[in-house]
Amino acid sequence: MCRIMEQMAKEERLEKRLEMAAKILESGEMAESRVKELFNLTEKQMKAIKERVTVLA
């Protein structure tokens, strides 16, 4: 049970990181490369965020 809760918490933290990165990219306050570096994002995650930001714009 503890492992399941740990996994859920890990997934929740990842979602929060992705949300914050998307908001920063959407605002244009920081370059994509810097956001990727600060939030430790993979290319796949970065692509998904950019697509989401494009849809929201």
Mean pLDDT of 1-27: 93
Tokens of residue 24, six digits: 């920063």
Give the predicted TM-score (pTM) of the model.
Answer: 0.79
Tokens 């956001």 appear where? 35
* pLDDT of 3 over the 80 cut: yes
* pLDDT of 51 over the 90 cut: no
Domain boundaries, the chain: 30-57
List, in order, residues 6 or more apart from 42 with CB less than 8 Å away: none
Mean pLDDT of 16-42: 93
